[in-house]
Structure 1
Amino acid sequence: KLVAPLVIIDITDRAREDANSTIEAADIERWISTNGEIPAGAVVALRSGWATKVKSPAFRNDDAGKFAFPGFSKSATDLLLERDTVAIGVDTLSLDPGNSADFAVHNSWLPAGRYGIEGLNNLEALPIKGATIVVGAPTHRSGTGGPARILALV
């Protein structure tokens, strides 16, 4: 599950307008309609353009100091749970959007035996399909996460 086909869904334009935008089930269905089925065992990544903000406070907060960044919606991850998707990834600091109060994606996706990758970089340099992701992660015990080395093979 750590070497997988990579699917990228781009919401960069929407994220420019709404910092807390999300990938919705309709975005995934539109991707499938245009590109074909999501490969079995895939990692589906959100590309929002947020990684370009990593060195500024805007990566984390809006002008009022509140968390603000794109993420997955529960409708999207519910759809992905019905498919053979092993993981989701984001170029932000959380799988849920910054304004999430209930962390619905974390609380439904992770207990289902799937994993998530946060803080992905350079997604804009990759094709939306056809790449392979390699996740180099140490074994974790009694923790909520940790560092990983993520590579994409094109």
Structure 2
Amino acid sequence: MPASPAESLAITYEAEEEVLVGRWRRNHSDPDLPEVFELLVEAALKAGHCRFWLLDLRERTWHPPTFQKWFDNLLSQQVVQVLGRPVFLACVATEQNRADIESIATQVRLRQQAQEEFYPYFFNNEGAARDWLLYHRQQEKA
């Protein structure tokens, strides 16, 4: 029996840093991805419309077509509508994913999402991802 999205993704809100953290514990079936989106948005709403997210993708298979579509469409278009603008998303991936992350297709996608004021950025180090989120949170408060 496949794991439910709630079993596959651990979601916590770190109030001191004002960051919503989603960590994949393991892969789950692609049809459940809309449920994962709902869990993340629900947690962000409960955390005062948190717009600073850290998404740990290191345990998730990188870029199956359905996951890429979910990431592009649901996150970039719906998250900003529900939570407000801008939304900053620091994604932590493995070093093996560097070629995908640095590809021209990913760079084009990032520019398109920036037009919606949705800013995903990829890291292979969680500390750097957190620093990036903290920087943007501080800039917004300045």
- Give the shorter-chain TM-score range: 0.3 to 0.5
Give 1 or 2: higher strand fraction. 1
What TM-score, normalized to structure 2? 0.39
Q: Which structure carries more relative contact order (alpha carbon 8 Å, separation 6+)?
A: 1
What TM-score, normalized to structure 1? 0.37
